[in-house]
Amino acid sequence: MLLKKTKDIFFHTSQITCIATSLYGLISHDIKWPVFFFIYCACFFTYNFERVYQSSPEDSFNHPERLKFLNSHKKLIQCLCILSLLFCLLFSNALNSQQWLILIIAASPTFLYLSPRLLFTQKRLKEIYLAKEFSIALSWALITAVLPQSSFKPSYFFLCFALAFINVVCCDIHDSAGDKKHRIKTLANHYTNIGTIVTSACLLLIIVSFLSESYGFSLAFIHILISSRRQAPNYQYDLALIWPALYRLFQ
């Protein structure tokens, strides 16, 4: 019983993504553990805030088991969200002025994504074509490829952006029925041949990352390619995010 509850908490609160993302905070030349914990807490808050504080009809349709779990543990998850935000404030002391600037830029599309309506369109961000994919990929790339690093590397940023973008598209394939029903405009519900597009993109990115000697990204895109061909559950695409960080950590 305890094992099942632990497993449910782990998967339904996006712990794979939180851990994978925070590991990028440990691969800079100047490792700062507070940055690692800051990224983890920021991810926890971002991924779970909407689920327990706002109504998301497409998520209710696409992930009924997660909705049932979160509703039965709503107070706990809400408390953890508040706690994670407080820890973010605590660990933010480790950020310098440049990192604060990156954080503000990365947080902007996140807040727009969480907003119930955008003032200039009266729509949610995810109801604008490609906005969901670009906003998540941009925020994730800034947090992983720029925030913890001492210098900006365009190729590294591009690969992080591409990895996050492909991750979102693959997860949206599983969620296409609910997204289409609730007017969420994504690549997955716009193109009938999205599987072929994902396969082609992964093959191209495997070659690009291999030629640039970014072998961790090659492993990540191979992981996504195999998972997409097997129609694996969403957590498999989240697991792919960890390969670049693991490769750098054990290099």
> Which structural domain range is residue 165 located in?
2-249
Q: What is the mean pLDDT of each run of 10 residues along the chain (251 residues)?
A: 80 95 85 89 92 84 91 93 96 92 93 80 87 95 93 95 98 92 90 95 98 97 97 95 94 79
Q: Are 243 and 223 in contact (CB under 8 A)?
A: yes
pLDDT confidence of residue 57:
86
pLDDT confidence of residue 114:
81
For the chain, the residue count is 251
* Three-state DSSP string of 8-37: HHHHHCCHHHHHHHHHHHHCCCCCCHHHHH
**Calpha distance 160→240 (Å, rounded):** 12
pLDDT confidence of residue 1:
66
**Calpha distance 184→47 (Å, rounded):** 18
Residue 32: half-sphere exposure toward Cβ, Cα within 13 Å:
16
**Calpha distance 228→190 (Å, rounded):** 17
Tokens of 207: 């070659």
**Calpha distance 64→70 (Å, rounded):** 10
142's CB contacts (< 8 A; 6+ apart) are 102, 105, 106
pLDDT confidence of residue 236:
96
**Calpha distance 12→66 (Å, rounded):** 6
Total number of domains constituting the chain: 1
